[in-house]
Amino acid sequence: MRTIVRSLLQFRSAFRNQGVKYLSGFATRRKHLVDYNPVSDCKHTYNVKVDRFWHPSYIIARALSLDAAKATIGDVSTAGPLVEYEQRIAAGELADGDSCQVGTLRELQRLYDELVESADACRLDRYAASEKAGRSRWLWSRFMPQSSYSPVKGLYLYGGVGTGKTMLMDLFFDQLPCNWRKKRIHFHDFMLNVHSRLQKHKGVADPLEVVAGEISDESILLCLDEFMVTDVADALILNRLFRHLFSNGLILVSTSNRAPDNLYEGGLQRDLFLPFISTLKERCVVREIGSSIDYRKMTSAEQGFYFIGYDLSGLLKQKFQQLIGEHVPCSQEVEVVMGRKLLVPLGANGCAYFPFEELCDRPLGAADYFGLCKNFHTLALEGVPIFGLHNRTAAYRFVNLVDVMYDNKARLLCTAEGSPQELLERIVTISDAQQMAPRTSSRSRKNDDFDLCVDNELGFAKDRTISRLTEMNSKEYLEQHAAMLAEKQDSQENANEDALQA
């Protein structure tokens, strides 16, 4: 019966890839064949009775599916990220002339073609893949140790800020068939998920192997955005985790600001992290995007909601009140992750208000900021200081906060002591510090290196944070944010109507 169900699913997927609009009507008229969920293209239920498959309409559908499958296979050679990129340039949606992006897209197209050609060998089809759970896989491996590295290597893209790494990876991901076991996730979010799974499997002899089994069962093609290792706990488990994942056949596509050899540079116990770099380079093709263009800064950046100066608390609260409208802000507690609670000083209508100290001078991390963005689409932050050696820890948290907000398309209102560039100008890498001119007798310590923070991770993250703050303040970003809110509101209204009708 499973084979028959799979045939129907492949039939629907094949026609969808061709954009055949009448399929939805056909499925609606044949609703008695298979119950399916119209909300998602790739999720189907299996409440199917055997006798229904002998209905004449099923026989017609099965015959049509063969032609649809042939048509889809024929279209593979004309699909992929490079083709889509050229179509968007022709439509005026993207700028032309960046040879670095085109070179990277050729690499993505090569990977796409290899994946399509080796889809069966890579076990990419979610409906044909093994249904064994992570614990079962781990138990079975105790008796029958085995490894099945993918015949296709992944891709590790790295380069400067704003060069379009995330856009290119998303363009690649969106071209992949929806029936594949694939996932696109931010690196911070991925590691939070890993730690949560480890907690669930606490007590197992090798919980990392169980977690790797679960992850690879769900998605054999993993796209990780912003690969950046700053936490010692993450650094110590990455080698073993990905050794298990690659052994299970996982294919990794990742973006980063740093080359593999520079990951976790200067970190605690880095010698234990180094084997992961070797594994990463062995299982992925490493590609640098050398573009000198920062596309984020090409937006129409305006003052927007970023206010520079002292004593602007009243102005920020006024703007905050305009956004929440007639709603009354109040203190509230929200759940962020694994049962932890975060106190929001003022919140209403999807907007939260925090003094900088409450959000970045307390022991909070990316997990708390992810939870905050799930509950609030807009954040007002009062009093962002200029960062240096004296508040390095707060700088780390601010960088994480900006990353999480940017990835969730959240809106930022803030008052700050300086522009984005001025906030982080005292943060430098070791290399930058070595290249600085030595202090002379005519240059006082106060004007030179007082409060200078020499930190490799922060130094590499500085340009990305400045770039993202600039884009988050642009007209284009704020319009995208407004469109996202409107879409969510429409979805909520439709859900409410469906609930009432039910």
Instruction: State mean pLDDT over 492-500.
Output: 76
**396 contacts 456 by C-beta, under 8 angstroms:** no
**398 contacts 384 by C-beta, under 8 angstroms:** yes
Backbone angles phi, psi at 122, to 5 degrees: -85, -5
Backbone angles phi, psi at 38, to 5 degrees: -75, -10
Residue 301, C-beta contacts closer than 8 angstroms, at least 6 positions apart? 470, 471, 473, 474
Per-residue model confidence (pLDDT) at position 445: 45
Confidence bin at 39 (pLDDT 50/70/90) = very low
Higher local confidence (pLDDT), 103 or 24 = 103
Residue 380 has pLDDT above 70, yes or no: yes
Instruction: State mean pLDDT over 479-501.
Output: 81
Per-residue model confidence (pLDDT) at position 294: 57
> pLDDT > 70: what percent of the chain?
74
Instruction: State mean pLDDT over 242-260.
Output: 94
Instruction: State mean pLDDT over 52-72.
Output: 39
**Average model confidence (pLDDT) across the chain:** 78
Count CB-CB contacts under 10 A for residue 115: 23
**Which has the minimum average pLDDT: 82-96, 134-148, 281-295, 401-415?**
134-148
- Return d(Cα 18, Cα 434) in angstroms, integer: 57
Per-residue model confidence (pLDDT) at position 63: 41
Residue 389 has pLDDT above 80, yes or no: yes
Higher local confidence (pLDDT), 214 or 35 = 214
> pLDDT > 90: what percent of the chain?
40
Per-residue model confidence (pLDDT) at position 209: 93
Residue 218 has pLDDT above 90, yes or no: yes
Per-residue model confidence (pLDDT) at position 148: 81
Tell me the CA end-to-end span of the chain in Å, nearest whole number. Answer: 31
Residue 240 has pLDDT above 70, yes or no: yes
Residue 441 has pLDDT above 80, yes or no: no
Q: Where are the domains of the chain?
A: 2-78, 97-289, 301-492
- Return d(Cα 423, Cα 401) in angstroms, integer: 15
Which of 204, 184, 189, 309 is CA-nearest to residue 255?
184
Residue 284 has pLDDT above 90, yes or no: yes
Residue 178, C-beta contacts closer than 8 angstroms, at least 6 positions apart? 13, 16, 41, 42
Residue 52 has pLDDT above 50, yes or no: no
- Return d(Cα 231, Cα 120) in angstroms, integer: 37
**What is the CATH number that goes with domain 97-289?**
3.40.50.300
Residue whose structure tokens are 């509101």: 489
Per-residue model confidence (pLDDT) at position 459: 87
